Amino acid sequence: MPVKSFLKKIQDNLTLRNFTIVSILFILIGFLPNYIPESNYQSVFQYAFEIGVLCFILAYCLYALKCWGVRHKICAVLMVSIPLLVYSVATSKIPDSLIAILFYLAFMLGIFAIVSTILLYVCDKVKRGIERYALKKTRGSYRYFYPKLSYSFIGLLVISSLVVNYGGIAMFTNNLNSAFQSATNSGSNSQYISPTAVPSTVGYATVETTQVSFFNQPSFTSVDESMNDINYINSIRASYGVNPIKFDNRVYNLARARVNDMDKYGYLDHTNPQTGTCAFSIKSQFGLTSNEYVAENAYGYESSTGINYHAGIETDAINAWMSDRGHKYNMLYPHIAGAVACSSGGHCVFEGLNHDGFTNACYTAAQGEAFWATAGVQPYEHT
């Protein structure tokens, strides 16, 4: 009897609401490395975050299915189709003109609504069969369920944020900017002005000796530019007989976060001197798993104010890295993917993605310099 009572108590508390709360707690646990950067339990926090995200997505889908089952089908279809549309915008380039954008969004939403309807219909039939034949449940009480719009809306925002994060924050932002510019500046014919900057190599990085700030100047590396940078890197790698690497949206988002962090705290290094964070410690926030590692090159201002980004700064950074032994080693390392990003403040990084454990902790530029000053020829090194 005590066992049956205990199981009954668990069954009574195993509600969709409690399941959602637990998933949110796991997600919050996954953010602890931001406040405990030197923790030895990074992988535990990462697994907790991933479990929390999966559980929240499952709870969200079950709620949508529940809405469908009680004939609130429009609500259910929107709960599924809108995140799919958001993911599409976060992973693919939208058209440039306003009319084409509206047509594209309407068309894609219609396609995703049809797909969502089919999925919900099939899943509901399966769910009904399990309830009727396996769980011996009746659906009489379901007629009293009415979906709360606040739950649906909050869930929609959270799920959309998650799919943007996993799909591509930068692509989503670029598409939003493109849509906004198409709506407000469709008649503008302003021309792009190319600035002039003179770089000089100082120690571990290249420091720009001039600053530029003017209207209509790009302020960071776009997704398309980063893809072009990877193509340029691959041309260099090919000249050394090294296999090409792919562009990775997750790594791009990580690179953007790293250079923005340098802007915010005014430093040029692989580890934030104030917070102790680095690419390794924050990689899980961008969808990278525990067996995916990123090795970083850095370039730019040691401290900066204003807009120091200029066209061609990515190429300047790549060429500077190729002139230094340690940075060159990372550029030609057998990574599988990577990305380049430069910030408005003129900081640039290359992040190379590998499964070899190359860069499995937070290191500083000074530590890197000290290593390469005395190191012999390394595996995969090209002289």
Dig out the tokens for 12 from the structure: 């009574």
308: which strand partners?
none
The DSSP string of 33-100 is: GGT-TT-S-HHHHHHHHHHHHHHHHHHHHHHHHHHHHTT-HHHHHHHHHHHHHHHHHHHSPPPSSHHH
**Cβ(293)–Cβ(252) below 8 Å:** no
Query: What is the predicted pLDDT for the residue at 195?
Result: 34
CA distance 223 to 153: 30
Three-point CA angle 287, 291, 294, nearest 5°: 70
In this prediction, the residues of the chain whose per-residue pLDDT falls under 50 are 1, 141, 143, 187-218
**For the segment 134-159, what is each residue's pLDDT rounded down to a tens digit?**
766 655 545 455 667 788 888 889 89
Helix ranges (H only) for 149-240 are 149-167, 169-184, 223-239
Q: Which residues have CB under 8 Å from 250's CB, separation 6+?
A: 166, 168, 286, 287, 288
Residue type, 46: Q
Query: What is the predicted pLDDT for the residue at 364?
Result: 92
Query: What is the predicted pLDDT for the residue at 117?
Result: 93
Dig out the tokens for 40 from the structure: 């030895």
H or E element in which residue 329 lies:
helix 325-331
CA distance 311 to 218: 8
Residue type, 83: P
pTM confidence score: 0.52
